[in-house]
Amino acid sequence: MTGFCSLEGKVALVTGGSRGIGRAIALELARAGADVVVGYRSGTEEAEDVAKEAGGRAVQADVSDPEQAKALVEQAGDLDIVVNNAGLTRDGLLARMPDADWRDVIETNLSSVFYTSRAAVRGMMKKRAGSIVNVSSIVGVHGNWGQTNYGASKAGIIGFTKSLARELGSRNVRANVVAPGYVNTRLTDVLPEEAQQAMLSNTPLGRLGEPEDIAGAVRFLCSDEAAFITGEVLLVDGGLGM
């Protein structure tokens, strides 16, 4: 596989890769020529299916645990690309939000990015090459009702990535953010019809995104065509965040 945004010869780790956006990213990076490692916490069968389709392998790990994140990176091998995509929601109004719902979302969505990136950067710095792409959300930029925990975790990813980009730039390692708008996945399937309609009416392109829309943006940021882009937040949201 050659041509624009080729990832031929590169090794890529995608966390949260068993379904939804993560699945689409893993398959897109594989199409670009990368050797893909699918990281997942649950859904072994789904993860194995993605890995088989991508011609790669699946490795189970809970990346909200620092030791498991480190072990995942070690098993993945000599990484050129890390895509931190693992995430979950525990929506609810702040006044009634249990501590556990706050902690679970922060640990899974934000701490996992820290643990996985920390484990991966040393090798990238040594070879003076690498690309980290962290998946945030439009909610991390603009906020959303009932998602203080999720919004905080996704905004935290942006601040983390910008700081990381400054730290790694002198070693030619890049760090960027893709911030999806509302995408047609299991997370949006559960939203009430009126909430979905409100989203669509505020989105200039007039549709939900598809996981493949996000995957294409990630592929670009991972590639040498984006060699002079770091610390950037790319909204892939149909214009919602304008």
Query: Of residues 40, 115, 150, 182, which has the active-site annotation?
Result: 150
Token pair 């998602």: residue: 147
Residue 219 has pLDDT above 60, yes or no: yes
Rounded Cα distance between 147 and 152, Å, is 8
The answer to whether position 191 is within a domain reads no
Sheet containing strand 81-84, edge to edge, reads 57-60, 35-40, 11-14, 81-84, 130-135, 173-180, 233-236
Active site residue 150: yes
Exposure of 156 in the CB half-sphere (CA atoms within 13 A): 16
Residue 105 has pLDDT above 80, yes or no: yes
The answer to whether position 195 is within a domain reads no
pLDDT for res 185 = 82
For residue range 34-71, what is the model confidence (pLDDT) as tens digits?
999 999 999 999 999 999 999 999 999 999 999 999 99
Q: CA of 168: how far to CAs of 131, 164, 165, in Å?
A: 10, 6, 5
Q: Which residues contact 211 (CB under 8 A, 6 or more apart)?
A: 20, 21, 23, 24, 25, 183, 184, 185
Question: SS3 of 93, please?
Answer: coil
The answer to whether position 199 is within a domain reads no
Q: CA of 96: how far to CAs of 91, 107, 116, 142, 155, in Å?
A: 10, 19, 31, 22, 21
Residue 17 has pLDDT above 70, yes or no: yes
Rounded Cα distance between 16 and 50, Å, is 11
pLDDT for res 198 = 84
The answer to whether position 104 is within a domain reads yes
Residue 112, domain extent: 11-183+212-234
Q: How many domains does the chain have?
A: 1
Rounded Cα distance between 139 and 104, Å, is 17
Token pair 């890390």: residue: 82
Rounded Cα distance between 82 and 112, Å, is 12
What H or E segment, with its residue span, contains residue 201?
A: helix 193-201
The answer to whether position 3 is within a domain reads no
The answer to whether position 6 is within a domain reads no
Torsion of CA 59, 62, 67, 70, to 10 degrees: 50
- What is the domain-level CATH number for residue 133? 3.40.50.720
- Give the mean model confidence (pLDDT) for residues 118-146: 97
For residue range 161-176, what is the model confidence (pLDDT) as tens digits?
999 999 999 999 999 9
The answer to whether position 178 is within a domain reads yes
pLDDT for res 196 = 81
The answer to whether position 2 is within a domain reads no
